[in-house]
Amino acid sequence: MQESEFKITDRGRFWKIAGAGAAFQAGSAAVDSATVVASLVFQLTGSAFAVGAASAILRLGWLLPQLVVGFLAECSTRRMPFYVFGAYGRAICAGLIALLLWTGTGLSPVMLATGFLILWTLYAFVSGVVAVPYNDIVGRSIPSGARSRMLAWRFFGGGILALGVAVFVRQVLETTQSMFQGYALIFALASVLMLLSSTLFVSAGEPIIAAQEPSERRKGLVADFFRNGWVILQGDARFRLFLFSQWLGGATLMALPFYVVAASTYGIGAADVGLLLGAQTVGSLFSNAFWGRLGDRAGKLRLLQTVGVLRLFPPIGVLLLLFFADTGVLVGFVLLFIVIGALMSGMTIGYLGYLMEISPDDRRPAYSAYFNALASPAALLPLLGAALIEYISINAVFVAAVVAAAWQLALLNRISRIQGG
User: Is 31 in contact with 173 (CB distance < 8 Å)?
Assistant: no
Tens-binned pLDDT, residue by residue, of the chain (421 aa):
444 444 544 778 888 998 999 999 899 989 988 788 988 998 898 888 898 889 889 888 887 887 788 778 777 778 899 999 999 999 999 999 999 999 987 888 889 999 999 999 999 999 989 988 888 888 788 876 777 678 778 878 888 898 898 889 888 888 887 888 899 999 999 999 999 999 999 998 888 766 554 444 444 556 676 777 778 878 778 888 888 888 888 778 788 888 888 887 777 766 677 788 888 888 888 887 788 788 878 888 888 889 889 889 999 988 888 887 666 688 888 899 999 988 888 888 888 778 878 777 667 777 777 887 788 787 788 888 888 888 888 889 999 999 998 998 888 888 888 876 4
CB contact at 8 A, 28 and 166 = no
CB atoms within 10 A of CB 12: 11
Say yes or no: domain 10-203+217-418 is CATH 1.20.1250.20: yes
What is 25-82 written as a DSSP string?
HHHHHHT-TTTHHHHHHHHHH--HHHHHHHHHHHHHHHHTTHHHHHHHHHT-S--HHH
pTM to 2 decimal places: 0.76
Q: What are phi and psi of 33, to 5 degrees?
A: -70, -20
